[in-house]
Structure 1
Amino acid sequence: MIMNHLKTAFAMSALGLLANTASAQQVPNATPDRPISSQDRFYTSDQFSNTVSVIDPSTNRLLGVIKLGDLTPANLSPLYKGQLLVHGMGFSPDGRTLAVISIGSNSVTFIDTATNAVKHTAYVGRSPHEAFFRPDGREVWVSVRGEDYIQVLDGKTFEPATRITVPNGPGMTIFSPDGKYGYVCSSFSPETVVIDTKAKKIVGRVAQASPFCPDIAATPDGRQVWLTLKDVGKVMVFDAKPPFAVLKTIDTGAITNHVNIARTSRGQFAYVTVGTQNIVKVFRTDTFEQVAAVPVGALPHGLWPSGDGTRIYVGLENGDGVAVIDTATNRLLTTIPIGQGPQGVAYVPGAVPSGDGMANLVPLDMASGKVQLTLSGQGQSQVTLFDQGQVQILQAAVAGLPSKQPFTLGLATKADGTGAIQPLAKFMTNPAGAAIVNAVGPIRQIVADAAPAERRYLVIRTGDPDSQGAVVQKQAH
């Protein structure tokens, strides 16, 4: 009798351990928790240096970068080799393959995580955005945002298999943990679709509150899907199962970039990057209550949990860095310097099964050079000049202006921004009164390094480049 009780108690204990292990999972493939180790890697897609930065999360140290393309102006010539605008990122369920999207060269580069070597490059349709492996590893789904389909690649050969037609401008696909559904949000159409991965047919539709969704995440418990709406500064949450009903829409802030989920000892939380506020907002997934806002640095973009959910790693698009958040306290632990303009990111547990994982990495080199400026007035904008050698890429995260209005970013001879200006870029603000604005040229030399008599000042004025619009923001001294 005593032995039977012991057997019963042992069996119940074992079931409890299995249940705990099964419930402690991170996205996207809902694998059991794995403590941070030197075998893990965190990767960022660096859009302006055309590199992949490789970090050892056990030491929070940059090991080096994988060079996929050249700096500007070399990539302004016909591009016969190398990749341009390295942007999106996904990885295989076994952690052995990284899939890297380059939106300017329409490619998916497959990298061996153990050796950092490129093992295949697949070319797809116009301006792909993200690529993710199905949880069983048999397929890779590429969101071809410049067109209206998902390009499905074979998960082993990486050759094209089929296409799935979706609403125009698919932004990203994420899968349910069991692999039954693929959730595809749109960047140009106000609709997310749910696809049966076996039948390759749309089985559900979710109306988006705006047309521009860049990022989507499924909770590891298989109950919810979260997506970001960058143009209106919101996140939406819908039921991961039929009828895929919308559960909540939350105002988060202008340039809401990415969302990801971490399951911790305190519960399951959604982490959302808010670009113009330089913070990561944290929400409970049961009550949707905001529990924290973590200052991280310039223009946070992609983010991903560690394999055990104890850390969130955040790419800082205008900060050339990775911010590391402790999920137990929701405090910033450290910031790691990386390549230029990180966009998509991935944390891959057990990426390097043996050895130091340093093969085929090169130093950061010029990609570490940047100058940061602030424009203030009506609202505030953060500007980063990414050094490319002869020239710089300028990227401004504009905020606080009237919505859906034309403006011009230019160089003024007067510090107050008045008088004639040399236009750099014309742009239109989104519904949240924000915009991401880009330009290329020898800008640092005249706004930061020039002698006083030759210096120019960055300004934003209303209207088109050929108009004498009012000054709304000017460079802080």
Structure 2
Amino acid sequence: MKTLPIAAAMAALATPAFAQHGPQAPWGRDVPASHRDRVYAAEQFSNTVSVTDPVDGTLLGVIRLGDPQPANFSPLYKGQVLVHGMGFSPDGRTLAVVSIGSNSVTFIDTATNAVKHTTYIGRSPHEAFFTPDGKEVWVTVRGEDYIAVLDPVTYQETARLKTPGGPGMTIFSPDGKYGYVCSSFNPELVVFDVARHAIVGRVAQPSPFCPNIAATPDGQQVWYTLKDVGKTVVIDAKPPFATMKVIDTGPITNHVNFARTAQGLFAYVTVGGTGEVQVFRTDSFAKVATIPVGRLPHGVWPSGDGKTVFVGMENDDALVRIDTATNQVTGKVAIGQAPQAIAYVAGAVPAGTGRENLQPLGVAGQATTLALGAGGKGATSVTLFDQGLIQILQASVTGLAPGQSYQLVLTDQADGTGTVEPLADFKTNPAGSAIVNASGPIRQVVQGQGATARHWLAIRAGTSAAPGAIVQRQMP
């Protein structure tokens, strides 16, 4: 993340249902939704975990794991930063929440929302999942080249499993035999024999950047997403783990999960750059629905009965509910800032209210949204997440040339002319998209509050050393 560099005023101060892709029993059995269930979201800019009752769509509160900016610009002795990944135990009693910026896995009691322990591991872990027997937690250490295996009783690291550099995520086969690990930095997926902690398969990825992977609950297929090229790939879940299908899904393809309806088993894929969820049959791979949901959909998870799919909206600070019978959006719940991974845990609260240790949303519920585009057509969504005096800016950039250098800038004229001040340099991926971050009192500047002169956001080609033309401007 880059601090905003604009003069003194701008000093920057993720019928029956097979309901889970993760390891939660019972496989293939209806689990009717109830007020004992919870939907959790890991929110990386408010550093919270939101807790929602899925039946009536009520946010019950948040578990605050860390502070907002700018407190985290100084040495961090307590609390977590960039709360991002999430898994849960097979009995639904424990969450494992990964914080990328503080290299941690926080274990939370689902019944009381209390933190049981925090384990610190290697550089920039990404996701944590329990093995189906509940005896181990596998954490992909994306900033390095291994999986950290944790004991869920002692919370200690017991092993390191070597992988290609930048492991993105592990998911397990329903029977617990295989662990499938896609890569975020190398074009290779590896398959582990879970009991032996040994690699037994290697599969070429069409591109290096996989953020998410899911196994069908019948144990037949594994689906994984490629964020950099906008594709979703299906492989055979059994040896030799052959690639079955590569699907073009669109820029910033994020997460995938499954739900069964009377019509069959379907894959739900979030596509951030187009603001939609795409739905595919798992037998023919035919696309059966495209569901507009809003700004930058990220995590996706079905309810215990498979009748609803929940989607975390990274640039809308919300959970969206989709009815799987009609593939229509049926509701929206305001949650914390920039939700990443989400999880639906059936029976998370076996007794009591389940509201202990929860806090109000507070400042984490405040955000401003903008759009950038060209020719009157929006392509890039921008959200300014309020952190008090400053904001974190996140731009979901699309519609640009692939593999080129650009800058997110502020201009003092609405048409992009006049003085241009760079906020962040970035390079687009092969799909012509990017996620761009900056921080500072940006809202005050683009709204012209107080003595601050009004500015407009824009994107220009090139770099500071070789600036090009403005290609996208802030829209009214």
Match of 2:255 in 1: 258
Match of 2:385 in 1: 386
Match of 2:161 in 1: 164
- CA distance in structure 1 between the aligned counterparts of 2:387 and 2:393, rounded to whole angstroms: 10
Amino acid at match of 1:49: S
RMSD: 1.4
| CA deviations over 1:135-155 (Å, ceiling 9, x no partner) | 000000000000000000012
- CA distance in structure 2 between the aligned counterparts of 1:407 and 1:24, rounded to whole angstroms: 44
Match of 1:341 in 2: 338
- Range 327-336 or range 465-474, more displaced: 465-474
- CA distance in structure 1 between the aligned counterparts of 2:278 and 2:77, rounded to whole angstroms: 42
| CA deviations over 1:299-323 (Å, ceiling 9, x no partner) | 0000101111111010000000000
Instruction: Say whether residues 1:176 and 2:167 are aligned partners.
Output: no
CA drift of 1:466 comes to 4.0
CA drift of 1:420 comes to 2.5
Instruction: Say whether residues 1:94 and 2:88 are aligned partners.
Output: no
**Correspondence 1:283-432 to 2 at 5 A:** 283-377=280-374, 380-432=379-431
Aligned residue among 214, 217, 221 for 1:220 = 217
CA drift of 1:27 comes to 2.5
CA drift of 1:452 comes to 10
CA drift of 1:211 comes to 0.2
Instruction: Say whether residues 1:144 and 2:141 are aligned partners.
Output: yes
Instruction: Say whether residues 1:442 and 2:441 are aligned partners.
Output: yes
Query: Retained in 2: the 8 A contact 1:89–1:345?
Result: yes
Query: Retained in 1: the 8 A contact 2:19–2:258?
Result: no
Match of 1:154 in 2: 151
- TM (norm. structure 1) is 0.94
- CA distance in structure 2 between the aligned counterparts of 1:452 and 1:285, rounded to whole angstroms: 57
The alignment partner of 2:67 has SS state of coil
Match of 2:276 in 1: 279
The alignment partner of 2:51 has SS state of strand
CA drift of 1:419 comes to 2.8
Instruction: Say whether residues 1:126 and 2:123 are aligned partners.
Output: yes
CA drift of 1:418 comes to 1.8
CA drift of 1:298 comes to 0.8
Query: Retained in 2: the 8 A contact 1:26–1:308?
Result: no
Question: Which runs of 5 or more residues in structure 1 are unaligned?
Answer: 1-19
- TM (norm. structure 2) is 0.94
The alignment partner of 2:46 has SS state of coil
Match of 1:268 in 2: 265
Instruction: Say whether residues 1:51 and 2:48 are aligned partners.
Output: yes
- CA distance in structure 2 between the aligned counterparts of 1:468 and 1:209, rounded to whole angstroms: 32
| CA deviations over 1:373-402 (Å, ceiling 9, x no partner) | 000117710000000001000000000100
- Range 99-108 or range 417-426, more displaced: 417-426
Match of 1:237 in 2: 234
- CA distance in structure 2 between the aligned counterparts of 1:469 and 1:306, rounded to whole angstroms: 48
- CA distance in structure 1 between the aligned counterparts of 2:452 and 2:175, rounded to whole angstroms: 64
Which has a greater percent of helix? 1
- Aligned residue pair count: 457
What is the percent sequence identity of the aligned residues?
64
CA drift of 1:449 comes to 4.2
Amino acid at match of 1:392: Q
Amino acid at match of 1:328: A
Question: Which runs of 5 or more residues in structure 2 are unaligned?
Answer: 1-14
- CA distance in structure 2 between the aligned counterparts of 1:25 and 1:85, rounded to whole angstroms: 28
The alignment partner of 2:453 has SS state of coil
- CA distance in structure 1 between the aligned counterparts of 2:351 and 2:178, rounded to whole angstroms: 34
Match of 1:39 in 2: 36
Amino acid at match of 1:119: K
Query: Retained in 2: the 8 A contact 1:26–1:263?
Result: no
Query: Retained in 1: the 8 A contact 2:20–2:301?
Result: no
Query: Retained in 2: the 8 A contact 1:24–1:264?
Result: no
Amino acid at match of 2:387: Q
The alignment partner of 2:96 has SS state of strand
CA drift of 1:264 comes to 2.2
| CA deviations over 1:306-345 (Å, ceiling 9, x no partner) | 1111110100000000000000100001010000000011
| CA deviations over 1:275-303 (Å, ceiling 9, x no partner) | 01110000000000000011111100001
Amino acid at match of 1:435: A
